[in-house]
A and B are shown apart, each in its own frame.
Chain A
Amino acid sequence: MTLDEIKDAFGFFDSWEDKYRFIIDLGKSQESLPESDRNEHNLIRGCQSQVWLVADYDSSSNTMTLRIDSDAHIVRGLSAIVLACYDGQTPDAIIAHDMDALFAELSLLEHLSPTRGNGLRAMVSRIRELAHQHQ
C-alpha cells in the first residue's frame, strides 16, 4: 500500500475502532520475514514488543530496500506505514522525511514515543542511521 493510499484511508475513519482495525489488517497483510531473517542481528528490542529490520542498499539505483517484521500486529501495521515512506527511497529522501510529522498527521504520534517501548522509534532511528551511511 502506498503512502497516499494509507493517508486516504485514514481520512475516512471516524472512530478509533476503524483506525485500529485498518492498522491490524495492514500488519496482517505484510509478508512475514523468513525465520532465518528473524535473527539477533536484525532484531530491534523494545521493552514490550520486538521489531526485525532487514535493510539492503543498491548502489546502482542509490535506493534502500527495507523489510520489517514484528511479533505484535499493531507494530507490524505501524511498520508498514514506515515502510511506505522509506522502502525504495534514496538515502537523501529518507533523511529528509519527517516521520514525526506524518505520525502526528495520522494521530499516531503516541506510538512513535520513546516511552512506548514498542521498538518503532528505535527502528526509524536505525533506518536513518543506515541512510546516513549510504549518503
Chain B
Amino acid sequence: MNRSDFPILQSSADEPGFVYLDSAATTQKPNAVIDAVSNYYRTSNANVHRAAHKLSALATQAFEAARENVRAFINAGAVEEIVFTRGTTEAINLIAAVHRGALSVGDEILISHLEHHSNIVPWQMLAAATGARLTACNVLTSGELDLNDFHSKLSNRTRIVAIGHVSNALGTVNPIADIVSAGHAAGALVVVDGAQAVAHMPVDVSAMDCDFYAFSGHKLYGPTGIGVLYGRRELLEALPPWQGGGEMIEHVSIETSTYNRLPFKFEAGTPNIAGAIGLSAAIDYLHEQDWQILQAAEQELLSMCIAELQQMPEVQLIGTPKHRAGVVSFLVDGSHPHDIGTLLDQQGVSVRTGHHCTMPLMQHLNIPGTVRASFAMYNDADDVAKFAAAMRKTLTFV
C-alpha cells in the first residue's frame, strides 16, 4: 500500500492537505478503483444479462467477474449466494422485508444496543409488520456486548439474531463466531452487519457460519451505491423475492410471474454495474496487501492515538474494548463533540461528531454523542501526530 495511490490525500503547495480520520463514514478511493469505474464507462458500458451484442457481453462478463471476486473475498460457497445491493442498509432491509411472511406474534428478533440504525430500524419495521418482539442485548461501559444478557435474551422464541461484526461508534470487535453458534443453537437465523469489519480484517463467512452477511463497497475503498448481501443458498432459495421488476423474473404474464434463479431473483432492475466493477477493483487492491501488515499497522495507530488522548486529562475515552478495529471515540469534559469537531476541522483534521447513527447506544451510555477518529490503511503516524497537536490546541479553546 502506498498513500500515493489515493489521489485525494495528496497535498501540494497550494493545497496543504488534510488529515482524514473519517474512514468509518467512508474510505477514500485508490486510483485502481477510480480507473476501473472510469474505464468501464469509457470502454465497456452496456446493460448486463440481456442484449446480444459485444458490449453487453463485455459488461456482463465484468459484472459477473466482480461477483465471483466478492465470493472469493468473503469465502462464500457459491456465487449464487452473492446479491448486489446499494449498500449494507439495503442488504439488511432486504433480509428483513423477505421475512415478513415468516415471523408472527410470539417470535422474537434479538439485536443489541451497539447497533447502527440500519441494523435496528429494518427490524423494528419487521416487528411492527409481523407482531414479533424486538429485544436488544445490553452493552457494558467497556463498549463490549454484555454476553450474559445476550444469552439470557436468546431463547427458542428468537427467530433472528442481527448483530454488527464491528461497532461503528466505538470500534468494538464482537465475538461473532460465538454469537453465530449461540444463535444457531437456539434455532435462530444469524444476520451479521459487516459494514465496519470488511476493511479491517479478513472475513470468512463459511468459517463464521453466519446465515447472512452485509457490507458496503464504499467503506472498503470502493464506490458508493454498491453493497453486498451474502446469504446461505438454501435460505435465499426458499425466501420470496423483494422488489419486482426486470432482471428478477424468468417469465411474466399479466396475471403472474415466475422468478429468476439466484442471485438475480433479488436484483430487480439494472444493477449498479460500474459500482460492482469498482468494488471488484477495490478487492483486487486489497488482495495486493498483506492483512497481517495492515492489521498490525492499524493496531499501532490506534494505540498511538489512545496513548496521546490519555495524556490529555480533559479527554474521556468512550469504550475500551479489548478487541478494537478502526475507531477511537472520545469526549472532552465540559465540551460538546460538535465544538471539538469544528475546531479540529479548522486545523485540517476531519473527524466525525455526533451520535454516529447509534442513538440507542448514546442513550444507553447517557452521552449526547462522541468525537470519533477512524482509521484506514492510508493513515500513518504523522496523521496521529497532527491529530494530537490539533487536539492540544483545541483544548485551549474550551
Which residues of B (238-272) have their CB < 8 Å from a CB of A?
none
Any A CB within 8 A of the CB of B369: yes
B337 — which chain A residues lie within 8 A by C-beta? 48, 72
B341 & A20 in contact (Cβ 8 Å cutoff): no
Any A CB within 8 A of the CB of B365: no
Number of residues on chain B facing chain A (CB within 8 A)? 17
CB distance from B16 to the nearest CB of A (A): 13
Smallest CB gap from B368: residue in A: A71
A48 & B346 in contact (Cβ 8 Å cutoff): no
A47 — which chain B residues lie within 8 A by C-beta? 354-355
Smallest CB gap from A110: residue in B: B345
CB distance from A134 to the nearest CB of B (A): 31
Interface flags for A56-99 (1: CB within 8 Å of B; 0: not) read: 00000000000000011111000000000000000000000000
B369 — which chain A residues lie within 8 A by C-beta? 48
Which residues of A (97-126) have their CB < 8 Å from a CB of B?
111, 117-118
Interface flags for B379-398 (1: CB within 8 Å of A; 0: not) read: 00000000000000100011
**Known contacts A47-B354, A48-B369; A72 and B338 CB within 8 A of each other:** yes
A21 & B353 in contact (Cβ 8 Å cutoff): no
CA of A117 to CA of B355, assembled, Å: 12
A16 & B338 in contact (Cβ 8 Å cutoff): no
Residue of B339, B343, B368, B398 contacting most chain A CB atoms (<10 Å): B339
B343 & A49 in contact (Cβ 8 Å cutoff): no
A-B contact pairs, 16 of them (CB 8 A): A20-B342, A24-B339, A24-B397, A48-B337, A48-B341, A48-B369, A49-B354, A71-B336, A71-B368, A72-B336, A73-B335, A73-B336, A73-B339, A74-B338, A75-B338, A111-B342
Chain A residues within 8 Å of B, Cβ to Cβ: 16-17, 20-21, 24, 47-49, 71-75, 111, 117-118
Residue of A71, A72, A111, A118 contacting most chain B CB atoms (<10 Å): A72
Given contacts A24-B397, A48-B369, 17 further A-B contacts (CB under 8 A): A20-B342, A20-B343, A20-B346, A24-B339, A48-B337, A48-B341, A48-B353, A71-B336, A72-B337, A72-B338, A73-B335, A73-B336, A73-B398, A74-B339, A74-B342, A75-B336, A118-B338
B343 — which chain A residues lie within 8 A by C-beta? 20, 74
Q: Which 5 pairs from chain A and chain B are nearest by CB?
A: A72-B336, A48-B354, A49-B338, A72-B338, A48-B338
CA of A16 to CA of B353, assembled, Å: 20
B368 — which chain A residues lie within 8 A by C-beta? 71
CA of A48 to CA of B25, assembled, Å: 15
A24 — which chain B residues lie within 8 A by C-beta? 339, 397-398
CB distance from B128 to the nearest CB of A (A): 23
Smallest CB gap from A49: residue in B: B338
CA of A111 to CA of B338, assembled, Å: 11
CA of A75 to CA of B355, assembled, Å: 17
A117 & B339 in contact (Cβ 8 Å cutoff): no
B341 — which chain A residues lie within 8 A by C-beta? 48
CA of A49 to CA of B336, assembled, Å: 8
CB distance from A38 to the nearest CB of B (A): 13
B393 — which chain A residues lie within 8 A by C-beta? 17
Interface flags for B346-369 (1: CB within 8 Å of A; 0: not) read: 100000011100000000000011
CA of A132 to CA of B354, assembled, Å: 32
B354 & A16 in contact (Cβ 8 Å cutoff): no
CB distance from B168 to the nearest CB of A (A): 15
CB distance from B210 to the nearest CB of A (A): 31
Residue of B338, B341, B343 contacting most chain A CB atoms (<10 Å): B338
Which residues of B (322-350) have their CB < 8 Å from a CB of A?
335-339, 341-343, 346
CA of A47 to CA of B353, assembled, Å: 9
A20 — which chain B residues lie within 8 A by C-beta? 342-343, 346, 397
CA of A74 to CA of B375, assembled, Å: 26
A48 — which chain B residues lie within 8 A by C-beta? 337-338, 341, 353-354, 369
A117 — which chain B residues lie within 8 A by C-beta? 354
CA of A118 to CA of B353, assembled, Å: 11
CA of A24 to CA of B339, assembled, Å: 9
CA of A17 to CA of B346, assembled, Å: 9
CB distance from A68 to the nearest CB of B (A): 15
CB distance from B309 to the nearest CB of A (A): 20
CA of A58 to CA of B143, assembled, Å: 51
CB distance from A89 to the nearest CB of B (A): 28
CA of A98 to CA of B354, assembled, Å: 29
A111 — which chain B residues lie within 8 A by C-beta? 342
CA of A127 to CA of B249, assembled, Å: 52
